[in-house]
Amino acid sequence: MPINRLLKDKCTPEQIELLNKAFSPALNLLDVVDRNDPLCDMAARKVIEVGATGIREPREIAE
């Protein structure tokens, strides 16, 4: 999963779990199915960016 690669050694296990819970809904909202699509990587970076703001609700992060 692209988001795990980006999070390696940067977050606590709890933060990783939260961001992973937000990542799949974010891809669904963008209609991204192919995990090799560059948009998938962009979405992962944005989920991490939004998660860093302190939001703790996966759906809010995804939106």
Write down the pLDDT at residue 4: 82
Confirm if 16 and 4 have CB atoms less than 8 A apart.
Answer: yes
> Residue for token digits 């690669």?
5
The pTM of this model reads 0.86
pLDDT tens digits, 7-46: 877 788 899 999 999 999 999 999 998 888 899 999 999 9
**pLDDT over threshold 70, residue 1:** no
What does the pLDDT read at residue 55? 95
User: Measured between alpha carbons, how far is 29 from 12 in angstroms, rounded to an integer?
Assistant: 26
pLDDT score, position 17: 93
